[in-house]
Amino acid sequence: MYHMHGASTRPGLNLDDVGDLDENVRREGRVRGDKNPSAYTTGEWPYDAVPEPDAPLPVYYSLALARTLDGLCDRRGYSHRSLSLAAGIASNAVGRIVRGDVYPDLATLARLEDAAKEPIYPHELYRQLRQPGPGPAGSAERAGGGAPESQ
């Protein structure tokens, strides 16, 4: 069993329900067995990559974020490493996000936005991806062939 150290033991939260987590999932930062974002695309990340028709929604967000981060670094003359270090995260983190190797967590996004002093999260991307149709939100086919540019 995987137990979270220092985690809250609030009533109703049973860490034993977390179950066994595969070592690869913990090490690679993947969730629910998802492959890396780049595995769901064709073309080179981030600018030539096009999500496959069955790509999960987080791939679109990862691609938009990768384009935003790479563009920010280019505009400001930063290396991926220097932005990572300014954000206080692993020195290779921005490079891994831009290459589509990982899905960044919220703490990483918060640190990157704080270091950049500008928004980097793909704001309201869901509105651009959503198409009218039956089924639960997010289950309709994605709009367009690639991830839209972030705002």
Closest CA relative to residue 1, chosen from 149, 17, 132: 17
Can you give the pLDDT at residue 23? 47
Cis upstream peptide for 46 (omega within 30°): yes
* Domains with residue ranges and CATH for the chain: 37-129 (1.10.260.40)
Run of H or E residues at 50: strand 50-51
pTM over 0.85: no
Distance between CA atoms of 145 and 51, rounded to whole angstroms? Answer: 7
Distance between CA atoms of 79 and 26, rounded to whole angstroms? Answer: 27
What are the mean pLDDT values of the chain's consecutive 10-residue runs (151 residues total)? Answer: 38 42 45 81 96 91 96 97 97 97 95 96 80 46 42 39
